[in-house]
A = this chain, B = another copy of it.
């Protein structure tokens, strides 16, 4: 018998933070957590799928409640299960997107991705497997490497000058990281150069530094900025300019030896294809950072990977934006290049489950069924409240 979705609950969490980057403050940030309930009983309780947002573009409760939750709840199980009655999130994606117009891939992509992640958590739990193993069987080699390359992402602007930057990098090194990313272009250039030099000194010759412009450059200053950075040894330059200014990306790529990373603010197959067609990105070095849950979820990301493969892009060139467990499962299961780790291990969506740790720049995946939210110290608490 087919699995039936019996209810969906969304909660918007208020997550204020003193962090800033070159284009926004996180003072009023929100994010959604979602629970999808089913009629399948496990250990005397209904089996649930858990999902949550990537941070930075606010929660998706309004859209989820207005359009996507009602469509799932109104559908018959046959619409989102396969012929064997197994939950198929790819079919659920089609249910959610019915009667939606093409184009306009923004908040909608995040609302659908939020629900998609909970459905994949469910699909994996129904097979009693970690999500990364399920994804590897369905869309990968079937023989996924449980060791995943990770990097630590942080270095936001705060009011304390270099103190929190130093503390973050020192802690990341202590945790076992070998690659750290900091924000730039949110302060005058001399301050940024001090931040870069401070970070490089702490990281030493055996570890690497990347910098994130958060889209702050434009056609007038991109060249001169990158020239000033050219003397540093940087792993990559992230989002130098507006994510949709493909022409400027092409000019930047043509003018620099630095690896360029972008894609976290590009949310669909159609937009990703344009980035690859027109952005001048180089398959031998650049990084594609499409955010799994903000780009309609795993269902759409798999389509993006297929499109990119046809254009000659290896999966190792994908390093998804986010820093959360869903993304980690996707990197491991689909054989992508690298996982972004939120630098603060105590933050709600940062860090790793208690049984996982970073060693020399790698984490080893666990065998907790689903995404593994129940094994994450902070997230499990949030969802325990939702499930009560």
Contact = CB atoms under 8 A, between A and B. Distances in A.
Central interface residue in A59, A66, A107, by most chain B CB within 10 Å: A107
Contacts of A61: 62, 66
Contacts of A247: 277
Contacts of A245: 270, 273
Identical subunits present: 2
A362 interface: no
A28 interface: yes
A57 interface: yes
Contacts of A105: 104, 106, 244
Interface string A85-129: 000000000000011111111111110000000000000000000
A282 interface: no
A28 B96 CA distance: 13
Nearest to A215: B102
Nearest to A104: B106
> What size tier do the contact residues of chain A reach?
35 or more
Given A106-B108, A107-B106, A56 B277 contact: no
A62 B58 contact: no
A99 B66 contact: no
Contact of A99 (B25, B62, B65, B265): B25
Contacts of A66: 12, 30, 58-59, 61-62
A244 B103 contact: yes
A254 B176 CA distance: 56
Contacts of A244: 102-103, 105, 268, 270-271, 273-274
Contacts of A59: 66
Interface in A38-83: 56-59, 61-63, 65-67
A267 interface: yes
Given A109-B106, A245-B270, A101 B24 contact: yes
Nearest to A243: B103
A30 B63 CA distance: 12
Query: Chain A interface mostly helix, strand, loop or mixed?
Result: loop
Given A65-B62, A107-B108, A102 B243 contact: yes
A56 B65 CA distance: 18
A63 B107 contact: yes
Given A244-B270, A270-B244, A265 B57 contact: no
A165 interface: no
A363 interface: no
A12 B28 CA distance: 25
A266 interface: yes
A265 B63 contact: no
Nearest to A57: B101
A210 to B, nearest CB: 19
A170 B63 CA distance: 39
Contacts of A267: 103-104, 106
A242 interface: yes
B274 A102 contact: no
Given A58-B67, A104-B265, A245-B270, 11 more contacts: A23-B101, A24-B101, A27-B99, A30-B66, A59-B66, A102-B215, A103-B243, A103-B266, A247-B277, A277-B278, A278-B278
Interface of A: 12, 23-28, 30, 56-59, 61-63, 65-67, 98-110, 215, 242-247, 265-268, 270-271, 273-274, 277-278, 294
11 contacts: A24-B99, A26-B99, A57-B101, A58-B67, A62-B62, A63-B63, A102-B243, A102-B244, A107-B107, A242-B270, A274-B278
